[in-house]
Amino acid sequence: MPKRSKISMSVIRRLPRYYRFLNQLDQDGVTRISSTELSARLGLTASQIRQDLNCFGGFGQQGYGYMVHQLAGEIGHILGVEHRYRTVIFGAGNIGHAIAAQMDFGELGFQLIGIFDNDPQKIGTVLHGIEVMDLVWFQDFYKKYVPEMAALCIPRSAIEETVSFLYGLGIRNYWNFSHYDISMKYPDAVVENVHLNDSLLTLCYEISHHDKAKKPVALLKHEK
């Protein structure tokens, strides 16, 4: 088995896409796919896919291709989807609401067990079958249910204090929608960031520079 600790983030970030794509094929009734076809449909080279999968021991046979259902299962296992990491959402605002309703946590390795907020308007409302609880009860909740992951959908103003509180209780895994760099202060925390502002700014850059590539006059005007 290769050393997993050396697997690069770019390989890891491609795995969910393989997983999603193979599950879709599986649902569509495809049982086997050649590495050429898989690569064409994923927009990667066959050798790239082979290299990625080889990081985890390799799958598929030369000249035979990949068994779709089996490979999806193996990749799911590598990702750890059989886990049921107990998850709590902090913040029942727009984003908290969206992920509570939208995400199929159970299919993705997690189990949503609670939603907390400190806004009296939100406490007691029901999101996707779960009642929003008052943040003051979280310490008791933690002792009883020991949640393992916190999805952070709270405003910048409250985030630092909330993370300090959660980290103090023992939570080390965060799905972070706020603009607070958790890893800077807590280097042993496992953090996956979803920075929507950064994503939109990246798109803005891409559009701006895509336009410029086509319009040399505008390019010159903006240059120093």
Q: Which residues are annotated as a binding site for NAD(+)?
A: 91-96
Distance from C-alpha of 146 to C-alpha of 29, rounded to nearest angstrom: 40
In the region spanning residues 72 to 111, those forming contacts with a copy of itself, defined by CB under 8 A, are 77-81, 83, 85, 93-95, 97-99, 101-105, 108-110
Tokens standing for residue 182: 């958790």
Pair 49, 38: CB distance under 8 Å: yes
Tokens standing for residue 203: 């798109």
DSSP structure string for 13-26: HHHHHHHHHHHHHH
Q: What does residue 177 show for φ and ψ, rounded to 5 degrees? A: -95, -5
DSSP category for residue 65: B
| 28 near a copy of itself (CB under 8 A) | no
Question: Which of residues 45, 205, 215, 218 is near a copy of itself by CB under 8 A?
Answer: 205
| 224 near a copy of itself (CB under 8 A) | yes
Minimum Å gap between C-beta 133 and a copy of itself is 20
The residues that touch a copy of itself, with contacts defined as CB under 8 A, are: 1, 4-5, 12-13, 15-17, 19-20, 41-43, 57, 77-81, 83, 85, 93-95, 97-99, 101-105, 108-110, 148-149, 173, 175, 179, 181, 183-184, 190, 192, 194-210, 212-213, 222-224
